């Protein structure tokens, strides 16, 4: 079998296997899922029931769905944290990819944000970005690092020594 990120993130943070947590691959065909009246492929961390926030932001074309954890069947460590602290614990997902921001956080995070040229979320989490995410996007800080060479600060680390 191959390994893919969606089931890996879900397995790590739920502590169970894909047959229990429901994330069997990044994408799969589900004859019971209907899109435009026909059975369709589904994406592990998305649903056409939700929209991207902010509206009009770029998305990964292949997903054709805004991010959400609705296919995740098991609680994650984050869900247990929220439950055990009576909602006082804070849980956020932040990643370059939607599935790695969404799946580890479970169904009740305080937010999940991923990068598509700017940080975005979906209407599953709220109708607008928090002010601190809007401010970060407006600052352009994330784009300062693209297209630049990244050098090790200690190049001797990781070298094979003979």
Cis peptide before 55 (omega within 30 of 0): no
Choosing from 2, 3, 4, 5, the catalytic residue is 5
Backbone angles phi, psi at 32, to 5 degrees: -90, -15
Cα angle, residue 57 at apex, residues 42 and 119 outer, rounded to 5° = 90
Catalytic residue check, 2: no
The rounded radius of gyration (Å) of the Cα atoms in the chain is 18
Query: What ranges in the chain are assigned the alpha helix state H?
Result: 5-14, 18-21, 77-84, 98-102, 131-139
Q: Which residues face 115 on adjacent strands?
A: 119
Of 23, 14, 30, 24, residue with least CA distance to 104: 14
For the chain, the maximum distance between any two Cα atoms, rounded to a whole number of angstroms, is: 63
Residues designated as active site = 5
């Amino acid at each position: 079998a191959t390994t893919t990120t969606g089931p890996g993130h879900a397995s790590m943070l739920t502590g169970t296997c894909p047959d229990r947590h429901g994330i069997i691959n990044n994408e799969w065909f589900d004859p019971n899922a209907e899109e435009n009246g026909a059975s369709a492929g589904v994406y592990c961390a998305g649903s056409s029931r939700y929209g991207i926030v902010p509206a009009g932001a770029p998305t990964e074309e292949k997903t054709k769905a805004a991010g959400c954890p609705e296919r995740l069947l098991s609680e994650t460590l984050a869900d247990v944290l929220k439950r055990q602290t009576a909602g006082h614990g804070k849980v956020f997902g932040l990643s370059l990819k939607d599935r790695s921001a969404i799946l580890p956080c479970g169904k009740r995070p305080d937010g999940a944000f991923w990068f598509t040229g700017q940080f975005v979320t979906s209407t599953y989490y709220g109708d607008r970005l928090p002010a601190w995410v809007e401010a970060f996007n407006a600052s352009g800080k994330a784009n300062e690092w693209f297209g630049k060479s990244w050098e090790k600060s200690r190049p001797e680390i990781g070298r094979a020594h003979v």
